[in-house]
Structure 1
Amino acid sequence: MAAVTGESLATLQEQLSETLAASELPVADELFGALDVLDSSAGLRRSLTDPAREAQERAGVVRGLFGAKARPATVTVLEAIASQRWSRERDLGDAVERLAVAVVAAQAEKDGLRGLESLESELLAFRRAVLSSHEVQRALTDSQAPAESKQKLAARLSPEAGAEARLLIDRAVSTPRGLRPEALVERFAERIAARQQRWIAQVTVAKELDAAHRQRLSASLDRYFGRELRLDVVVDPSVVGGIRVQVGDEVVDSTVATRLNELHRRLAG
């Protein structure tokens, strides 16, 4: 993340903290709708990220587009975003997405820590369900399939999801913004986890872990990474044996499949 964008995000989080905390789920839905408009118009993105234009002028463009269509809180958030400086055009849309997720998280947080943990768990459960089926992955990435069909499939995969998780999952399967749906859900879950000041460890193993093994692994990874982690365990028989762990950009891979591939590369070289 470039410095300018990082500073702008920090400013927005502070400036909008009360607005985000008080907003209801429809505000997040409207922010995602505004994101679709931004993603569909390169000219609009250029206009709202043009450093030669004054912040008030950029905010005025937002008011003209969304002022009569969206809730006041939605317009307040969009105006604040447009008033900031961004390193890249895409960062503008990424900021809208990030703050939409913040609204969803704030709604879940009204039930306390339990609400955030439930939201995180529901997102990760959906991700695991998608990763467990190649057929589901093909269906959710089929460019010819309508968004409504993908959302219906997602609902069957996550029947226990609450309103907050449902909104984020539907968003991920209908408009993944260049990512695979499960990857965008993972990004949403990571932002929910960060709100709880913890991180998600994506763990891939060849077979299911029992409770005792999972507890030992969790403690070992907490020590190794020096932070409290939430394990998201995916069973993938193709790894053959061993374990693969990813926390953010850091990867620890001790699977047999990886070692065999490395050996093949050395022999081929």
Structure 2
Amino acid sequence: MDLRGASAESLRELSAELDETLSGGADAERVARELYNVASLLRAEPALRRFATDASLPAAAKQGLVKDVFAGKFDDATLALVSSAAGRRWTATRDLAAATERLSELAAVASVGSDANRLVDELFLLGQTLGANHDLRDALADPARSTEDKAALLDALLGGKALPATVALAKQGLGGTYRTLTGALAAYREVAADASGEAVATVRVVQPLGDGERERLAAALSRQYGKQVHLNEIVEPGVLGGMRVEIGDDVIDGTVSSRLDDARRKLVG
């Protein structure tokens, strides 16, 4: 989610408001669910979206309409956040729905409390499962299937095994701003880690790391990036040896296969 200018500033301020709302005792799980529903409604109703983001209109007028439209449908905490969003400036009309969806993700992360790392791991494992199971991935991406049918598949896969927030976010990934469910899951991992003041590193190795190796790698990355780094590990035979670390947009490739490729290029050159 790439928001810029006024939209990025509005999202930062709304995120702070969300923190205050949840600290005040609002039900994070409910707020997350309702904010996602609001985002979906904004995408489905372009006239409402345009009115709520029209910079030429007074903030009070836009907030009044939003309250009229959503009153009685959502919790007061959700309604207050949506009203505040309507009173802010947005760089593009679509950014209001995108920011509201991001707030829903942040609320879902907040709902797990101290289980943020478990949430990151479950989202990662689900992504790995989809990558390894083509039939499941295709079924969840099939435009001929209804969203309800796809959600039922996720319930069957995750029910009783994963955090409610993992299931909720996975379902949101079926129809939100992300192109694919796997892309959504990767984004949610980053949101969850960032909310805990951490970064997520995907480590590709030829065989599982030992506990000591994981600790040393996490410590080294934490020093380099100035924050705690949560490791998600993928075992890939094609790595041959060494490891490949992906963290944000950075790639640290120390694999044997990478060094062999470099050697081949130098010989050819």
1:52-67 equivalences in 2 (<5 Å): 52-67=56-71
Q: Assess if the C-alpha contact under 8 Å between 1:122 and 1:158 holds in 2.
A: no
Asked if 1:43 is matched to 2:28, the reply is no
Residues 38-88 of structure 1: per-residue CA shift (max 9 Å, x gap): 122333322222111111122122112211322222211111111111122
Asked if 1:230 is matched to 2:230, the reply is yes
Whole-Å separation in 2 of the counterparts to 1:210 and 1:101: 33
Classify 1:149/1:196 alpha carbon distance in 2 versus 1 (closer, same or farther; 3 Å): same
Q: Assess if the C-alpha contact under 8 Å between 1:122 and 1:161 holds in 2.
A: yes
TM superposition shift of 1:198: 0.8
Classify 1:261/1:27 alpha carbon distance in 2 versus 1 (closer, same or farther; 3 Å): same
Asked if 1:155 is matched to 2:155, the reply is yes
Classify 1:120/1:27 alpha carbon distance in 2 versus 1 (closer, same or farther; 3 Å): same
User: Match for residue 13 of structure 1?
Assistant: 15
1:138-177 equivalences in 2 (<5 Å): 138-159=138-159, 160-172=161-173, 174-177=174-177
Whole-Å separation in 2 of the counterparts to 1:233 and 1:222: 16
Asked if 1:98 is matched to 2:102, the reply is yes
Classify 1:264/1:2 alpha carbon distance in 2 versus 1 (closer, same or farther; 3 Å): farther
Classify 1:51/1:233 alpha carbon distance in 2 versus 1 (closer, same or farther; 3 Å): same
Whole-Å separation in 2 of the counterparts to 1:207 and 1:133: 21
1:136-215 equivalences in 2 (<5 Å): 136-159=136-159, 160-172=161-173, 174-215=174-215
Number of corresponding residues: 264
User: Match for residue 85 of structure 1?
Assistant: 89
Q: Assess if the C-alpha contact under 8 Å between 1:20 and 1:102 holds in 2.
A: no
Q: Provide the alpha-carbon RMSD of the alignment.
A: 2.7
Q: Assess if the C-alpha contact under 8 Å between 1:129 and 1:157 holds in 2.
A: no
TM superposition shift of 1:137: 2.2
Whole-Å separation in 2 of the counterparts to 1:143 and 1:266: 46
User: Match for residue 131 of structure 2?
Assistant: 131
User: Match for residue 26 of structure 1?
Assistant: 30
Classify 1:187/1:48 alpha carbon distance in 2 versus 1 (closer, same or farther; 3 Å): same
Whole-Å separation in 1 of the counterparts to 2:185 and 2:63: 30
Structure 1 range deviating more: 79-88 or 200-209 = 200-209
- TM-score normalised to the size of structure 1? 0.84
TM superposition shift of 1:240: 4.9
Give the 3-state SS of the residue equivalent to 2:252 in structure 1: strand
Could you tell me which runs of 5 or more consecutive residues in structure 1 were left unpaired when the two chains were aligned: none
Q: Assess if the C-alpha contact under 8 Å between 2:245 and 2:251 holds in 1.
A: yes
Whole-Å separation in 2 of the counterparts to 1:256 and 1:50: 55
Residues 183-208 of structure 1: per-residue CA shift (max 9 Å, x gap): 21222222221121111112233443
Whole-Å separation in 1 of the counterparts to 2:258 and 2:62: 50
Classify 1:40/1:236 alpha carbon distance in 2 versus 1 (closer, same or farther; 3 Å): farther
Whole-Å separation in 1 of the counterparts to 2:201 and 2:151: 27
The letter for the 1-side match of 2:49 is R
Classify 1:35/1:259 alpha carbon distance in 2 versus 1 (closer, same or farther; 3 Å): farther
- TM-score normalised to the size of structure 2? 0.84
